Amino acid sequence: MYYRAFMSDLELLGLNSLGIVSIISIFVGAVVTIQTAFNLDDPLVPDYYIAIATRESIILEFSPTIISLILAGKVGSNIASTLGSMRVSEQIDALEVMGVNPASYLIAPKITALVFFNPILIMLSMFLGMIGGYLASVGGVMSTEDFMYGLTVDFNAYHITYALIKTFVFAFLIVSISAYFGFYVKGGAIEVGVNATKAVVSSSVAIIVSNYILTQLLLV
């Protein structure tokens, strides 16, 4: 039953986010490239610096943090409203009467699923963000050769490690905070909505604050 719950949550929280993550990553990657090119329009700055700036923006901040914030909205509201609805419709009480630990049955698979799948989503987002940047270069912002060269030059693999550490932490925060707000709903449909909003706001704030703390600890 727990395996089945895990697989179901993997699909609901992870696989179903592939579309939105892909679309956002490609377009943001392209826009970052265009804006960087616009700001670095100087004959003394080589064009491949645009690709370096794009790569670092995507790996360090856009994919792990911004995508996690988007997931906090999508996945966090889903978790809080699902658990909240189960609470007000007494489904959680039904589990408890059966002798099932509701927290371990309902929340643990969600945490496991997102902590497992969020890094995959973020890696995909990094890749697609750079594809977006490449497409912008094909559109004439800069030469594709300069873009490809910039993507690989002075690459620091530790930045990927840093991004993935953030990703694990953000995934845990999104699910645990949202689950808390959903699991302890008291009242009816209105309170479910209110708590879903609180879940999104709180997990977003937690991501932003922990992003600062992790950056301070891991990069400085």
Partner 1 sequence: MIEVNDIHKSFGDHEVLKGIDATFYKGQTNLIIGQSGSGKTVFLKSLVGLHDIDSGDIVYNGRALGSLNNKERKSLRTEMGMVFQGNALFDSLTIEENVTFALNMFSDMSLSEKRDRANFCLERVNLPNVAKKFPSELSGGMQKRVAIARAISMNPKYLFCDEPNSGLDPKTAIVIDKLLQEITEEFGMTTVINTHDMNSVIEIGAYIIFIKEGKKAWQGTGDDILNTDSPEIVDFVYSSELFKKIRGEH
Of 100 and 160, which has the nearer Cβ to partner 1?
100
CB of 58 to partner 1, least distance (A): 36
Binding-residue pattern over the window 132 to 171 for partner 1, x denoting contact by CB under 8 A: ----------------------------------------
Q: Which residues contact 145 (CB under 8 A, 6 or more apart)?
A: none
Of 96 and 191, which has the nearer Cβ to partner 1?
96
Question: Which pair of tokens denotes residue 108?
Answer: 């643990």
Report if residue 98 touches partner 1, rule: CB under 8 A.
Answer: yes
Report if residue 100 touches partner 1, rule: CB under 8 A.
Answer: yes
CA pair distance 216, 220, nearest whole angstrom: 5
CA pair distance 193, 39, nearest whole angstrom: 42
Residue 8 CB neighbour total at 10 angstroms: 13
Residues 76-95 that bind partner 1 (CB under 8 A): 89-91, 93-94
Of 2 and 212, which has the nearer Cβ to partner 1?
2
Q: Report whether 199 contacts 176 (CB < 8 A).
A: no
Report if residue 220 touches partner 1, rule: CB under 8 A.
Answer: no
CA pair distance 39, 91, nearest whole angstrom: 55
**Contacts to partner 1 by CB under 8 A:** 1, 8, 89-91, 93-94, 96-100
